[in-house]
Amino acid sequence: MCAHCTVRQLSVCAALPDEDIGRLEAIMRTRSIEPGERLVEEGAPRRHVFTLTSGMLRLSSDLPDGRRQIGDFLLPGDYLGLADETIYAQTAEAVTASTLCSFAVKDMEALMASSPPLRDRLYSLTRRALQEARESQMMLGRLAPVEKVASFLLLLSRRLQRHGQPGNPLSLSMSRTDIADHLGLTIETVSRSFTKLKMQGLIVLPEPHLVEIRDRAALIAVAGLSIEA
Amino acid sequence: MCAHCTVRQLSVCAALPDEDIGRLEAIMRTRSIEPGERLVEEGAPRRHVFTLTSGMLRLSSDLPDGRRQIGDFLLPGDYLGLADETIYAQTAEAVTASTLCSFAVKDMEALMASSPPLRDRLYSLTRRALQEARESQMMLGRLAPVEKVASFLLLLSRRLQRHGQPGNPLSLSMSRTDIADHLGLTIETVSRSFTKLKMQGLIVLPEPHLVEIRDRAALIAVAGLSIEA
DNA sequence: CGTTATATTGAATGGATTCAAGGCCAGTGG
DNA sequence: CCACTGGCCTTGAATCCATTCAATATAACG
C-alpha cells in the first residue's frame, strides 16, 4: 500500500497527492531480489523503471576486460532508470537484499503525461543525479585516495541520514571491492585509506562494515570537497 | 533571428515550432565573450540559462587548493544550466571566443510551463548529460592515461561531427591544461599520451591543436570504452 | 567448529607525477 | 627584418605513491 509506504516522501511517489496514489498502485508490481542478483543489465531494452523501497543497489558499467565502474549506489526511495532512454546504460545489482516497486515504462510514461507533478519530480531527480555525477567526477579525477574515501564516507553518511537511516555510526553495506570500483581505486588502497583515517582518530571501525565518524570536521578537512552537514 | 539560427536543430530551440519561435526571441538576449572570460560562477545564484551558438565553453569546479575538474566542454547548440537548481553548480568559461543566447530563468520557466515540447526537450537533454557524465566517471575512474586520451579524442570527434564541425582532422580548441583537468591527469602525462598515440601511428599532430585520426579502429581498441562511429 | 570469503598488512614493482630543462610559436619592440 | 619575450607544449630524469603480488588475519556462514 503506497499510502503507508515508508519511503514515499523520499521517492517520486511523493509527487502524487493521496487521491491519485491509487493510479500508481494500479500500475505497480513489487519485487524483491537477493544480494548480488542482477535487476537490469547494461544494454538491455528499458522496459521497466523502479523505486527502491528497501536495501541497496549498485549501478555499474563494465569494460570488456572486466574493469568495472560503479556510478552510484541507490538507497531506499531512489529511482532506477533516470538516465536511460531506450536501453539501460548501466547494470543494476543488489548490494543487499532489496525490495522494489516496478513499473512498466509504458505505464509510467502515461502516468507522467497526465500528472505534471510526477513529471516535474522525475525531472528534478534527474537534475539532482546529474549534480551528484559531477561531484563524483571531481572525486574521481582530482582527489587523492584518502580524500576519496573520506569524501565517500561523508557523502554516504549524509545520504543515509536523508533517507532515514543512521548517519553516524553508518553501515557500509557494500564490499571493499564495490567501494574501490566506485572510487577508482584497488581494494588494498581502500583498506589502507581506512587504516590511515583510523590512525588519525577520525573514524573507528568496530567491524569492517560499520564506520563511526569521530571527528567530522577533520574528516571534512581531509576530504577537500566542500561537504556541509 | 532564431529562424535562421545555425544551431537551432541541435539546441533546445528545435523543440519549438516556427510559429512559436518568436516567443523565444522575445525573451532572448545575445551575448559574446572572449577566450578565458567567465560567464557564470560556481555558487552564484542561477539567474540565466544559455544556449551556446558558437565557440566553446568549459564547465569546471574548483577545490580550495586550486585543483580543478572540468566536467564538460560545451559545443554550439549545447545548453548551459541543465544541472543547476537555485545556484550554479559549476563555473562556465569561454575556451574560445563564443556567442550565446541568454535567457532569464524566470522567462524560460514560464515558456517551459506553456510549451510541453520545450520542457520535454530540456528533460531529454538532461538525461543525455547524465549519461555522458556516467561515461565520464568510467573514464576517470578506470582508464589508464593513454586510454583516457584516446577516448577523449574519439568522443570529441563524434560530438564535433554531430554539431556540424569536422570530426576527423579535429581541432582541439582547449589547452593541454584543460584536457588534463578534464581527464584527471597532469599536462605532462597528456602530452606523453599524445606522443604514444603518435608513435603508434594512430594519430597525427600537424599542430598541437589539430589532430588527425589515422587509424580509428585501433584508437577505439586503445580506448577500451565502447565507442562506435 | 571448520571452511570459505573478505579484509588487512607487507614488500616489490612500476608508472604517473614532480621538478627541471628545452623547444616552438606568436607577438613586441628595437 | 631580427632579436627578445612569454606562453604553451614537449621531453628528460628522479621521485613518490598506488598498484601488484603475496601472505596473514579476520569475519561470515554453514
CA nearest to A35, candidates A153, A157, A174: A174
pLDDT tens string, chain A, 229 residues long: the values are 788 899 999 999 999 998 889 999 999 999 999 999 999 999 999 999 999 999 999 999 999 999 999 999 999 999 999 999 999 999 999 999 999 999 999 999 999 999 999 999 999 999 999 999 999 999 999 999 999 999 999 999 999 999 999 999 999 999 999 999 999 999 999 999 999 999 999 999 999 999 999 999 999 999 988 776 5
Instruction: Tell me how close the Cα of B204 comes to any Cα of chain A, in angstroms.
Output: 27
Q: Which residue has the cell 569521530?
A: A214
Question: Chain B residue with minimal CA distance to A226?
Answer: B63
Q: Is A138 in Cβ contact with B61 (below 8 Å)?
A: yes
Residue A9 grid cell: 516522501
Rounded to whole angstroms, the distance from the CA of residue A196 to the C1' of nucleotide C13 is 22
Q: Which residues contact A225 (CB under 8 A, 6 or more apart)?
A: A135, A138, A139, A143, A147, A151, A154, B63
CA distances from B44 to A91, A226, B48, B85 (A): 36, 15, 11, 11
Q: Which residues contact A6 (CB under 8 A, 6 or more apart)?
A: A53, A76, A164
Interface test with chain B among A78, A91, A142, by most B beta carbons within 10 Å: A142
Domains of chain A: 2-137 (2.60.120.10), 143-223 (1.10.10.10)
Look at residue B48 and give its three-state secondary structure.
Answer: strand
What is d(CA B14, CA B35) in angstroms, rounded to the nearest whole number?
28
pLDDT tens string, chain B, 229 residues long: the values are 788 899 999 999 999 998 889 999 999 999 999 999 999 999 999 999 999 999 999 999 999 999 999 999 999 999 999 999 999 999 999 999 999 999 999 999 999 999 999 999 999 999 999 999 999 999 999 999 999 999 999 999 999 999 989 999 999 999 999 999 999 999 999 999 999 999 999 999 999 999 999 999 999 999 988 776 5
**Residue pairs between chains A and B whose CB atoms are closer than 8 Å:** 114
Select from A69, A89, A130 the Cβ nearest to the Cβ of B142.
Answer: A69
* Pair B126, B50: CB distance under 8 Å: no
Q: Is B150 exposed, middle or buried (0-12, 13-18, 19+ CB in 10 A)?
A: buried
What is d(CA B74, CA A166) in angstroms, rounded to the nearest whole number?
40
Residue B73 grid cell: 566542454
Q: Which residues of A touch B225 (CB under 8 A)?
A: 63
Question: Chain A residue with minimal CA distance to B186?
Answer: A142
Q: Is B137 in Cβ contact with A69 (below 8 Å)?
A: yes
- pLDDT, one tens digit per residue, over A61-79 is 999 999 999 999 999 999 9
Strand D bases within 7 angstroms of protein beta carbons: 8-13, 17-22, 27-28
Q: Which residues of A touch B85 (CB under 8 A)?
A: 127-128, 131
Residue B214 grid cell: 589515422
**B28 touching A, CB under 8 A?**
no
